[in-house]
Chain A
Amino acid sequence: MVKPLHCSLRWIEPGPERHLFSSTIILHGASPVIKTSAELKLEESLQVVNTPSGQPAQAKSNKPHDFKPRLLLMGLRRSGKSSIASVVFHKMPPNETLFLESTTRIQKDSVHSFMDFQVWDFPGQFEYLESSFDLEEIFGSHGALVWVIDAQDDYLESVARLNRTILTVQQYYPNINIEVFIHKVDGLSDEYRTDTFQDIVQLISDELSDAGYENAPVHYYLTSIYDYSVFEAFSKVIQKLIPNLSTLENLINTLSNNCGFEKSYLFDVLSKIYIASDTRPVDMSCYEMCSDYIDVIVDISELYSWDHPDRKPKGEQNQEAESHVVLHDETMIHLLEMNKYLCLVSVIRNPEAKEKKGLIDMNCRTFQQALNDVFSRSWEQEQEAERIQNQAEQPQIEEPPTSNFLSL
């Protein structure tokens, strides 16, 4: 696994890179696409052969490699890193993670979604701060370090190693957010869970303030793969890496206020990570229902989206999937496909909403337009970042005038 020593820096051979293509076509019954690098290369070269201009392949390779934020999953061995990656990004049922083998190589997953990012799953048995490792290769990109601590185990060693890591990373790579997952909390009682949480936070912040870092940007999450907490935590981690998050949040807030939504999420359909939501505080229940509702639609679509020449549409219809359900207590859950990667799922507790479904739809379409504007502009920005930076510090994306939304 390890490169021969004549190379001055030790580097663990990465495993085959897997590519995940997030796409809302799973709402139309297609299965998710996961490919290895080799398959992708083959496809790309075939494409080049087929289209001599080679335009699409060219565009892809032009994208600088460093633009993808990285999520680095680290922690002691057997703390649950690979399980987390498998459950969140490969849709593995949680109880099957028991059979995962110990990771011996860096497992890279490239997620192609509204924003491309990479997940690197590190084997836990190495200390990466040893000078023999090439830190630049690991941390030298914009991203987040996700440190997984097994809360059911003795965590002192893990915390000590994390402290060393934070100090190094903080010093040399301030672009890396530090996120601590206090993991496997499903096995702990509520009380013990809070105690563990506080204890770990205390241990880390003491060490950091001793070293002179007050208020170091470290965030803590209680997670478990057996409920929704790990998705929620990943959502928060990813959101920090999104360049125009505040714009998205403003947009969703405006939409939610005008439509009387209890809560509204913008989901990446495949991973079920939400990349933005309105900012009102709410318990987990809304997230659970929205995320499960996506499952319902994906599953039903799988059953009825078969292809056959005799299946013909009977009229005009929007090409985006749209769905809503009204529950026994008049709660409505509304789902609308936004673009190639995202869908908007909202919970509405207002019983009158049913009659005003048309207005809600219209508002959501307005939102969809605004959202796609935000995204398409941000791609332009990548190319002309300089020019925009000269004009203003923060590229002010023009928000659609609120009058476009009709209040209920």
Chain B
Amino acid sequence: MDGRKKKRKVLLMGKSGSGKSSMRSIIFSNYVAKDVRRLGATIDVEHSHVKFMGNLTLNLWDCGGQDAFMETYLASQRGNIFSDVAVLIYVFDIESREVERDLDTYSAIISALREYSPHAYVFCLVHKLDLIQAEHRQRIYEERSALIRSRTEHFAIDTFGSSIWDQSLYKAWAGIVHKLIPNLTVIERFLHAFAKRIDAEEVILFERSTFLTVTSVSSEIGDLNPIYDRHERLSNIMKAFKHCAARNTHTTPASAGFVVMHTKTPQFNVFLGRFTDNTYVFIVVPPGEAAYNCAVLNTMLAREGFSKAAGAAHGDGFPLPMPDSPGGDFNTN
């Protein structure tokens, strides 16, 4: 890893048929959920590079999960596969009948990881939750997650329940991406200051092609919003509309996108626009025509400030705004 371009190696592993390639296709390759049945089994390792947020590139290793492959990963390929890993994403199929055996494989992977990349971060996705009846979902997921944690040794781990048929997939991957972005605290500090300045209830940063939530800040009032899964639901809504737009403008989903979206209702106003090359900013402000227009104008100004900062000096990772400065050239109501 050199300093200028940040490449993060991400391993995607799990038993054959657990849904690794399906979720990868939906998140990064603009598949819709019902298209994934076209996918065949992954043979050996499929590499893909996903550009994400400025200079951060995810180097995604989608590892085929059949037993024969698993054995080579753990034996002859061991050093190649498990070195320099930033994140291991391990996918469990909730419907699997051989839970104990899955966990043994997982333990073997974890010990290989400890050997070559002891500082990697581990995410476990308990996948295909849609196949479980809604009322049992939470309980079964928690049981499974406890079992997984007991086999994880010293690694830092997060577990998510997921399904390609609803927004839970976006929640899981947004969590993963959130961990990978460098200098996130700086971005968040900036967004806080910005949100306060324009009196926004909520400011969310979405990655452009995947529509994953990069980060978000909300005001004291915005925190009171009773809908906790709103970010992943937004990802889902906007991505679905992007697919629709692509279908109807005869382009590929990858090149379709939004320039700007304004929505005014009596309860809230929303602005969605391009922020940096790779992000959209989504702003929720209270109703009020003048205040809204002002907020939009300020967002444009902030964007310019942002890209200027990116052009100057560092250019490393996410452009850093000068501390405390982005108040100077703001309009006030």
**Alpha-carbon gap, A307 to B86, bound state (A):** 42
A residues less than 8 Å from B240 (CB atoms): 292, 295
**Alpha-carbon gap, A308 to B218, bound state (A):** 15
B residues less than 8 Å from A63 (CB atoms): none
B residues less than 8 Å from A329 (CB atoms): 249, 251
Q: Chain A, interface size: which category?
A: 35 or more
**Alpha-carbon gap, A151 to B326, bound state (A):** 63
For B260, the closest partner residue in chain A by CB is A326
Interface of B is mostly: mixed
**Alpha-carbon gap, A311 to B199, bound state (A):** 12
Q: Once the chains bind, are B264 and A318 in contact (CB under 8 Å)?
A: yes
A residues less than 8 Å from B284 (CB atoms): 304
Assuming the contacts A304-B225, A323-B263, A325-B258, asked whether A299 and B249 have C-beta atoms less than 8 A apart, the reply is no
Q: Does B108 sit at the interface, judged by CB under 8 A? A: no
A324 vs chain B, min Cβ distance (A): 6
Query: CB < 8 Å: which of A288, A306, A325 contacts B247?
Result: A288
For A321, the closest partner residue in chain B by CB is B265
Q: Once the chains bind, are B287 and A317 in contact (CB under 8 Å)?
A: yes
B294 vs chain A, min Cβ distance (A): 10
For B231, the closest partner residue in chain A by CB is A303
Query: CB < 8 Å: which of A311, A312, A331 contacts B249?
Result: A331
**Alpha-carbon gap, A292 to B256, bound state (A):** 15
**Alpha-carbon gap, A312 to B268, bound state (A):** 10
For A297, the closest partner residue in chain B by CB is B263
Q: Once the chains bind, are B287 and A314 in contact (CB under 8 Å)?
A: yes
Q: Once the chains bind, are A321 and B266 in contact (CB under 8 Å)?
A: yes
Interface residues of B in 210-249 (CB under 8 A from A): 221, 224-227, 230, 233-234, 237-238, 240-241, 244-245, 247-249
Query: CB < 8 Å: which of A315, A319, A324, A328 contacts B266?
Result: A319
For A299, the closest partner residue in chain B by CB is B237
Q: Once the chains bind, are B288 and A315 in contact (CB under 8 Å)?
A: yes
Query: CB < 8 Å: which of A289, A299, A310, A318 contacts B245?
Result: A289
Query: CB < 8 Å: which of B227, B238, B249, B288 contacts A313?
Result: B288
Interface residues of B in 258-297 (CB under 8 A from A): 258-270, 272, 284-292
Q: Does A316 sit at the interface, judged by CB under 8 A? A: yes
A351 vs chain B, min Cβ distance (A): 11
Q: Does A383 sit at the interface, judged by CB under 8 A? A: no
B residues less than 8 Å from A186 (CB atoms): none
Interface of A is mostly: mixed
Q: Once the chains bind, are B263 and A317 in contact (CB under 8 Å)?
A: no
Query: CB < 8 Å: which of B221, B245, B258, B269 contacts A311?
Result: B221
Assuming the contacts A326-B261, A328-B259, asked whether A315 and B289 have C-beta atoms less than 8 A apart, the reply is yes
Assuming the contacts A289-B245, A313-B286, asked whether A306 and B227 have C-beta atoms less than 8 A apart, the reply is yes
A residues less than 8 Å from B290 (CB atoms): 314-316
A residues less than 8 Å from B258 (CB atoms): 325-328
Q: Does B255 sit at the interface, judged by CB under 8 A? A: yes
Q: Once the chains bind, are A28 and B266 in contact (CB under 8 Å)?
A: yes
Q: Does A285 sit at the interface, judged by CB under 8 A? A: yes
**Alpha-carbon gap, A301 to B263, bound state (A):** 9
For A30, the closest partner residue in chain B by CB is B267
**Alpha-carbon gap, A112 to B65, bound state (A):** 54
A122 vs chain B, min Cβ distance (A): 32
Q: Once the chains bind, are B244 and A288 in contact (CB under 8 Å)?
A: yes
Query: CB < 8 Å: which of B227, B241, B272 contacts A303?
Result: B227
Q: Once the chains bind, are A310 and B221 in contact (CB under 8 Å)?
A: yes
**Alpha-carbon gap, A292 to B249, bound state (A):** 14
Q: Once the chains bind, are A323 and B261 in contact (CB under 8 Å)?
A: yes
Q: Does A330 sit at the interface, judged by CB under 8 A? A: yes
A residues less than 8 Å from B237 (CB atoms): 295-296, 299-300
Give me 12 other A-B pairs in contact (C-beta within 8 A), A296-B238, A303-B233 excluded: A28-B267, A295-B241, A300-B270, A303-B230, A303-B234, A304-B270, A312-B286, A315-B287, A316-B288, A316-B289, A323-B261, A323-B263
What residues make up the interface of A, taking CB atoms closer than 8 Å to B? 27-29, 285-286, 288-289, 292-293, 295-297, 299-306, 308, 310-319, 321-331
**Minimum-distance CB pairs A-B, first 7:** A315-B288, A314-B288, A285-B248, A323-B263, A326-B259, A325-B261, A314-B291
What residues make up the interface of B, taking CB atoms closer than 8 Å to A? 199, 201, 221, 224-227, 230, 233-234, 237-238, 240-241, 244-245, 247-249, 251, 255-270, 272, 284-292
